[in-house]
Structure 1
């Protein structure tokens, strides 16, 4: 029972009685104990093992089962999960154990998932490029311990890459799902803004609804695009059908580099090879930015929206808010016009592969490519491509058509590769 199977495969195997939820959960705990990347920082072993045993008994009885029945998984340490601490990496919250589930956790459990533990985060989720905090320490990248897994969902992405979980759920304000996914070589989705409820996603304390949900979102991380679809259906509800079902039918916009944030040579080569492979597979490629979209203006506007997000929580409004809201509306409309004639837009997730720990050169540039989908609130996912340290290919879809982006990434894996365990070579993992 290899730890690198996808959640979709594992769920099907459990339903058929070919895999044991108890055995899979025991295997994960053994791997968590042996891991040196510091990705999983809290577990609930007794409760998880009993839930897994009951999942096996339910299959034996022939009970109806949910889409994630018996699948063991971890959850980002920013979502409340009954019986587990919710610390946000802050020592003052070390003993804060949740007595109810966040909405995301409740829906995952209702679908049959078994939450076995929490994954590490950057302190108070305040960094997109690294994951470390004074309570649980630093998380390492399983592909190279000298490099960062990204942040703030770095523990989530590292756990998937290291075979410590079958599925994860994170959050993304300024790339906190997509950047770790790119750096660790897994899939990570920021859904259309507002798709997944954020109740229970907060530091310990009285319930405090976010005064302004845009542009923060909750979304899944996984080892396949199909797992992203499964997790999003469970937590966000029914999805609109994908626009296309065959790879060769997709109309794809592409920008792989920009003078305002040039990509490194290895990222550029990996993304160029991927697009060439897609074109050979029949994908219709249109190069260039959408009309009326200036990526520098858009990145600056997104920076203001992030500032506004935090200011709104403090009850203040930065100067120039009205003008910036008009700019966001205009850019959102420009993307809507563009995506009426293009199914998905491809660009880098981030300009580089995983950075060394404490590397500060061009640090803030990590958000430039993230901003292009985040400002208009579009669904966007990072898919792994390339050999060695993976690059992230960002797939941006039309608003509220998340499955169009997911389906493209799922089909594209057959020609550009997908998740590969650390040290396993290159290409799509076919024999797990």
Structure 2
């Protein structure tokens, strides 16, 4: 059954329903691949095989009686470690939470399993979901299947690595600062950061937390764009508090071919430069649209400056992240703030200021963010898609040096600050825009490249459809040579 290891979830469900193979056979296929490849990659960090096998048998029995359980009937999949699964630990990579056993499934996991999916395991994350790499003191380091000397991204790094290695059919990740998008880019798979709030996040939180975190979303990683749309359909919509009053109806895209799209291109930025190989691939996608007869504009920008947008994003991001920190860390940041030079514009300075905002300051920043949202709204009257890089480089070598803010990346043979590349996540994330990252081939080192397609709020199906159409031309997911067997 190795020929199915890299099929997308939609195809696998079709074949399950056609009874080409059973759910229990497909599950055991993935378990065997985990046993074979995971020791080298360390993407899948926990499994619940007894429960998964029982669900698989139930799916097979239902199908034998002519009953389909849902659009994900009998499909084995994994989820990011930060999702609650009853009876399993939810640690966020933090040793202090190693004994935090979930009492119930996250809402997203409930909906996936109600649609017929079989969640058989969890995938690795960085400490507190706060890094572009995925390693922690509980589960160790996850490697990129395309080159084990490099990371798979973070914080949904285990998710992307497991998919890329053919160890799971589908994944659920989360994103506040590119945590779905940069792993999809680094590992050569599809990933979608939804419009904020359209997928219920309850059960993807630290113990006892019910309030959704600003900027933070949950979303799928997959081996095809159509799988992304399928997950949005299954998981999307109001949580129980709001279901009596609203239902999610995302507008369907009308573009049938690449020549039908109106595309703006933001391929590089002085304050957050990207490697020439990244820029070239963004421009290549733009030329595909252009050659097909679509409208492409390389100069169009929304009515605000890049640095203004990024300043709001960093303040709001660090304010949101500070809610996850212990009280002692907050008190330490208050003390550091008192010694901070007002002229300091370093990443650490932004982190300290954002982590210690008074509500009045946060509210003013949020008001500026709302102005950004309306500026994007006007921008997307003229365009369907904004093309940007997903990150500054392809997957980089493991770097566990401390402190994080002192790390650097090599961009065009120049050393640049590690966190500078978060600009490309924040450009769309600060304004709640949907963003789909899709595979766009390999670089000269044989490493995957992804491109980000962003759209207007609630335009999720458009960015996914654009990714699907480009994927048909560019070949889709990159399969690691070492995982083909």
Say yes or no: TM over 0.5. Answer: yes
Matched, 1:356 2:397: yes
Measure the CA separation in 2 of the matches of 1:289 and 1:373: 15
Question: Which residue of structure 2 lines up, in the alignment, with residue 24 of structure 1?
Answer: 26
- Structure 2 partner of 1:167: 170
Offset, 1:311? 4.5
Q: Which residue of 1 aligns with 2:438?
A: 383
Q: Find the partner of 1:94 among 98, 104, 114.
A: 98
**Local SS of the residue matching 1:415:** helix
SS of corresponding position for 1:386: strand
Listed one character per residue, the Cα deviations across residues 333-391 of structure 1 (whole Å, up to 9, x for unaligned) are 11000101211111101111111111633311221111111011000011111222122
TM-score w.r.t. the length of structure 2 is: 0.83
Deviations 1:56-109 (A, max 9, x none): 221111013300010000010111012322121222333333221100100000
Distance 1:271 1:291 in 2: 19
Map Cα deviations across residues 23-82 of structure 1 (whole Å, 9 max, x no partner): 110011111111210000000112211211221221111013300010000010111012
Give the CA deviation at 1:424.
8.8
Contact in 1 for aligned 2:44/2:121 (Cα 8 Å): yes
- Say how many residue pairs are matched: 423
Supply the RMSD in Å over aligned alpha carbons.
Answer: 2.0
Shift of 1:299: 1.4
After TM superposition, the structure 1 stretch with the greater mean CA deviation from structure 2, 275-284 or 410-419, is 275-284
Which secondary structure does the structure 2 equivalent of 1:258 belong to? coil
Query: Judging changes above 3 Å, is the alpha-carbon distance between structure 1 residues 289 and 133 closer, same or farther for their aligned structure 2 residues?
Result: farther
Is the aligned partner of 1:5 residue 2:7?
yes
How far the C-alpha of 1:240 sits from its partner, in A, is 2.1
**Which 10-residue stretch deviates more, 218-227 or 407-416?**
407-416
Look up the SS of the partner of 1:320 in the other structure.
helix
1:209 aligns with 2:257: no
Q: Is 1:420 the counterpart of 2:478 in the alignment?
A: yes
Matched, 1:47 2:58: no
1:65 counterpart (51, 64, 69): 69
1:263 to 260, 268, 274: 274
Asked if 2 retains the 8 angstrom alpha-carbon contact of 1:233 and 1:239, the reply is no
- Aligned mate of 1:239, from 237, 250, 257: 250
Query: Structure 1 residues 291, 239: closer, same or farther in 2, change over 3 A?
Result: closer
The TM-score, its normalising length taken from structure 1, stands at 0.93
Report the CA distance between 1:255 and its aligned residue: 1.4
* CA deviation profile, 1:215-261 (whole Å, cap 9, x unmatched): 11010111111110001110004432124233221111111112222
Residue 283 of structure 1 is matched in structure 2 by 294
Matches within 5 A, 1:17-416: 17-35=19-37, 36-127=40-131, 129-203=132-206, 205=207, 207-210=208-211, 213-237=213-237, 238-311=249-322, 317-318=357-358, 320-358=361-399, 360-361=408-409, 362-387=417-442, 388-416=446-474
Moved more, 302-311 or 62-71: 302-311
Query: Which range is displaced more, 137-146 or 318-327?
Result: 318-327
Deviation at 1:263, TM superposition (A): 1.3
Residue 312 of structure 1 and its aligned partner are, at CA, apart by 5.4
Identify the range of structure 1 (244-253 vs 220-229) with the bigger mean alpha-carbon deviation: 244-253
C-alpha contact (below 8 Å) 1:281/1:415 kept by paired residues: no
**Greater mean deviation of Cα atoms: 248-257 or 108-117:** 248-257
Which runs of at least 4 in structure 1 moved beyond 4 Å after TM superposition? 311-316
Q: Secondary structure at the match of 2:450?
A: strand
Shift of 1:420: 2.1
Asked if 2 retains the 8 angstrom alpha-carbon contact of 1:239 and 1:402, the reply is: yes
Ranges in structure 1 where 5+ consecutive residues have no aligned partner: none
